Structure 1
Amino acid sequence: MRLFAPAKVNLALHVTGRRDDGYHLLDSVVVFAGVGDWLTLAPSDALSLTVTGPRAAGVPADRRNLIWRAAELFAPGHGAAITLEKHLPHAGGIGGGSADAAAALRGLSELWRAAMPDDAAVLSLGADVPVCAAGRPMRMSGIGELLAPLPPLPPLWLVLVNAGVEVPTRAVFSTLERRDNPPLPDLPAEGWPDAAGFAGWLCSARNDLEPPARALVPAISEVLDRLNTQPGCLLARMSGSGGTCFGLFAEEGAAKAAAEELTGDKPDWWVAAAPVLA
């Protein structure tokens, strides 16, 4: 069994509050891109995890990996040989680990003919796992447990870029100027007529984590500056808590041309052009 774990991209992310237990309340527009990791599952007497692929370095193959912890949410006694083919940057703000865990949940449920773990158990793996398990464009709020489908989206392309500089998530959240920001602007019930209209709506939203991340990691500003200069880029912004950034494009050709130019200029950066998945 082979499963795709697509990159999760926060096109907008508002921090709207903080609970007494320290968890931040979010309001976010989440989509998935046609680039990601791959999982292969095979029957086995015991649970095992092997990590391969161009981004395997530093990815644990034991209980520290969310895939392993996802498997443990099912009743004990099951076995599976799981291989993770890692293509997304580790801790890159595009939900790589969460997408892997969500794919593992779907695949193991089928392999073991077992019911999916309940919502609370899935959320216990991390705030991004429920939306990754949904696997479609969503408005995500609360601490990640409240999901609502987005209105219909026009065809869109993304250029994802990561400069390879670690972004300290805890420090990003701790240096937020405000934690009680307004929620997302109203979403049009009928969706957006085209990519330009969607980009215009996104410009009225924000990523509240981008300013503190830029201050901590100047490379993010360099990436965004380069994306903003690419022909056809409608909007450039950081995804999630960083450090992967995205450029939003209406046309496949413009997105692929931008990715090719950036790869040529910055061969040490991770760059990928991909469609937004419906």
Structure 2
Amino acid sequence: MGSSKTDFPPIRACIFDVDGLLIDSEDAYTAVTNTILRENNRPDLPWKIKAQLQGRPGPEAGRIFHEWAKLPISYEKFVARNTELQAEAFRHCKPLPGVEDLLRKLQNARPKVHMALATSSIGKNFEIKTGSMKEMFSVFAEDQIVTGDDDRVPKGRGKPLPDIYLVALQTINEHIRRTSPEESEVQPEECIVFEDSVPGVEAGRRAGMRVVWCPNPGLLNEYQGREKEVLAGKTGEHKEEEIERHGTSTIKGSPGHVGEIDDGWAEMLQTLEEFRYERYKIEV
């Protein structure tokens, strides 16, 4: 995985993040957070901090946020207010540009391209956010939707660790074994991870998968000049002390290694409208 590579096999599976990648829910998170910060006379959330929160599981993101925010209210009060505002804001989420077309084309691709979701969002929030987009999300089988509170993901092993993406691949391969045993199982290098966050890109690279990074312009501005590091998974989002805190994983293929600069395993797109199927040998 470390060396530059151009002879990739055709892509047989696509695994998607959700927030800020398929739907505009990252904007909702920011609006809610800024409302609470302003109510407590604190400055708005800067991209420098938001970049660290994106893609991470709730507890880890919460720890980073509260160390920065130093809110004058109790944690319980914060959680109650946050939950109340999010429940309303999440109901208004919409698909991001190019998403519906991409999912439809992948669903109809021949040979078949398998699809799964891997989101750090807890199941309840995922349901609220996607409630008005049931048809769009129907391309994902229920057992191939992996959320942040999914029992199949070891506790404390969220992004930037690769476990959630490896679990998503396991769900795809379980489906293949169940429905078409004559088909070979999908290998990590036959998968694309679609991500908007920096920890998410690192998780995909550690899983040994190819990655399409589609960042928010605000995030891209924060990583200006470091885009190649992000694509290699080499920004150091995962610290060694986190391994000690989270323990080792029981998932096959984890924890995995990041890539190298310009190794051909990842690319950046401004929006998913730019996705090039032929680059990945996908026929639509």
TM-score of the superposed pair, with normalisation by structure 2? 0.30
Which protein has the bigger strand share? 1
Which protein has the bigger helix share? 2
Higher relative CO (Cα under 8 Å, sequence separation at least 6) belongs to 2
